[in-house]
DNA sequence: TCGTCTGCCTAACGATCGTTCGTTTGGGAG
DNA sequence: CTCCCAAACGAACGATCGTTAGGCAGACGA
């Protein structure tokens, strides 16, 4: 579940949270500074006491969310596979998928912005995000290749498989409702099943 | 492959094609009428000789693409399963997935716009698109449920599975390059494998 | 040769955009 | 009580937005 803090920690963070909702619902370009301000009962100009630019707000959301994905993946991968030849790709991938779902479910709004709106950043930041996404996707791809050569996975194109898995996962922010019928853990269960099924191949 | 016609059929269609590229790359809201015109070596105002509004262009792209998805699915489903109790859900789903990939690959730009930018439409049209998407997704879901009760698929949540499959498929416009290393048919092969694997479940 | 029609032009409209500015306000520390 | 400082205000900036209006050039049928 997302934590809209009961006690507002900082005004800055409140702005980012409200902006996450609006950016996710209408997109960055279609959301005006005055829209964000209105949701906080303020005047548009007043935001600039807390923020240096509109893009700055987007960047804060995207960067923070990217870091959360990176940290979650690092935690999974650093605690496993230290001993080569003794790794279990399916088990590690399971934990990686669960971590990914958890990061999304903990802040669906920010995750949705991260997935779709990073294109709106300036050239420099956009390139940075792109490279971080590549690095992240490679962790999936490497794990899949490991499973291919160990015989756990039956595939011929690890890159395509990684993209397909991440596409399915990144569809989550578009429909997942923390208050809906599925808890984040249940969703993660299903996606682990889907992922392993996908990678182990059709049985007929 | 997308068909940017060598002979420009109508000016109107040329506008839609150029708009598809720009809408997909920068989003509808971030693309100005003057941007579209510049790509055609025209003045922004000149577009209005061919078009009644900017949203009208978006609508034409979205509606046309939605219709292509619907027609492709109808062709698959109308030619199968006419005799109940004799259907093969996996085979039908295979054809449905192939049809979906084909529609995307035939016009990646328009498909990308359809997938992401329909939210920018006015309330009425947006609601219409949403309901057509629901109908389309239900065709996948129904087929999955058929496979569940026939024992072909090992799943507990057909709705989640349909969403996951379609999310993976709809990630295609974001990365697929018709001139790249994979033909549309090869991509379809892989996605059929992924889909069936997903639905038949992990084997361990 | 004339009129018409199509396709694009320039100019301009009001609205809204992101952002800057100088000012006001209200609560806490001395 | 007084001072201060962060937070929000209203007004305004130049730019750009989608769109309208009127005119001009060239192709074409009569």
What DSSP designation does A120 have? G
For residue A78, give the nearest of A68, A163, A70 by alpha carbon: A70
Query: In this structure, is the dihedral angle defined by the CA atoms of residues A187, A155, B166 and A128, taken in order, positive or negative?
Result: positive
Of A35, A24, A33, A26, give the one whose Cα is nearest residue A116.
Answer: A24
Q: What is the pTM of this model?
A: 0.92
% of chain B surpassing 70 pLDDT:
92
B48/chain A closest Cα distance in angstroms = 22
Tens of pLDDT, residues B18-73 = 999 999 999 999 999 999 999 999 998 999 999 999 999 999 999 999 999 999 99
Which pairs from A53-61 meet CB under 8 Å and 24+ separation?
A55/A120, A55/A121, A55/A122, A55/A125, A57/A15, A57/A16, A57/A19, A58/A19, A58/A23, A58/A28, A58/A113, A58/A117, A58/A120, A58/A121, A59/A121, A59/A125, A60/A16, A61/A16, A61/A19, A61/A20, A61/A23, A61/A110, A61/A113, A61/A114
For residue B8, the model assigns a pLDDT of 64
Listed residue (B60, B68, B45, B53) closest to B14, CA to CA: B60
Mention every residue, 6+ apart, whose C-beta is less than 8 A from residue B55. B120, B121, B122, B125
Question: What is the pLDDT at residue B184?
Answer: 97
Give the mutation candidate from B90, B160, B174, B198 for the A interface (greatest A CB count, under 10 A): B198
Q: What is the DSSP string of A6-47?
A: SS---HHHHHHHHHHHHHHHH-STT--HHHHHHHTT--GGGG
Name the residue among B125, B88, B115 with its Cα closest to residue B175.
B115
Rounded Cα–Cα distance for residues A178 and A169 (Å): 15
DSSP for residue B155: -
| CA distance linking residue A164 with residue A97, whole number of Å | 13
Residue with the two structure tokens 């990684």: A162
* Cβ-Cβ contacts under 8 Å, A29 against chain B: 26-27, 29-30
3-state secondary structure of B57: helix
B30, B165, B194 ranked by CB distance to A29: nearest: B30
Q: Which segments of chain A have a pLDDT < 70?
A: 1-8, 80-86, 203-204
CA distance linking residue B117 with residue B166, whole number of Å? 17
Which residues on A lie below 8 Å from B187 (Cβ)?
160
Q: How many Å apart are CA A170 and CA A184, to the nearest integer?
A: 14
Nearest of B23, B149, B145, B166 to residue B101 by alpha carbon: B166
User: Which has the closest alpha carbon to B194: B177, B160, B169, B176?
Assistant: B169
Nucleotide closest to A45 measured between CA and C1' = C19
Phi/psi-derived region of residue B119, left when phi > 0, alpha when psi is between -120 and 50, beta in every other case: alpha
Give residue-wise pLDDT tens across range B187-199. Answer: 999 999 999 999 9
Q: What would the pLDDT profile of B103-146 be if each residue is shown by its tens digit?
A: 999 999 999 999 999 999 999 999 999 999 999 999 999 999 99
């Amino acid at each position: 579940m997302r934590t809209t803090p009961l006690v507002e920690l900082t005004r800055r963070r409140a702005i980012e949270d409200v902006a996450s909702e609006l950016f996710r619902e209408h997109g960055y370009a279609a959301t005006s500074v005055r829209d964000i301000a209105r949701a906080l009962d303020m005047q548009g100009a007043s935001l600039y006491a807390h923020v240096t630019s509109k893009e700055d707000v987007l960047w804060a959301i995207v960067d923070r969310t990217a870091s959360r994905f990176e940290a979650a993946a690092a935690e999974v991968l650093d605690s496993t596979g230290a001993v080569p030849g003794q790794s279990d790709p399916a088990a590690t991938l399971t934990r990686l998928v669960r971590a990914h779902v958890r990061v999304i479910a903990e802040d669906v709004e920010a995750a949705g912005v991260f997935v779709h709106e990073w294109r709106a950043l300036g050239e420099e930041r956009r390139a940075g995000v792109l490279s971080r996404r590549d690095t992240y996707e490679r962790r999936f791809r490497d794990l899949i290749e490991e499973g291919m050569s160990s015989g756990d996975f039956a595939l011929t194109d690890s890159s395509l498989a990684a993209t397909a898995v991440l596409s399915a996962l990144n569809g989550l922010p578009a429909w997942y409702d923390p208050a809906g019928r599925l808890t984040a853990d249940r969703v993660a269960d299903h996606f682990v099943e889907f992922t392993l099924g996908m990678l182990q191949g059709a049985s007929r």
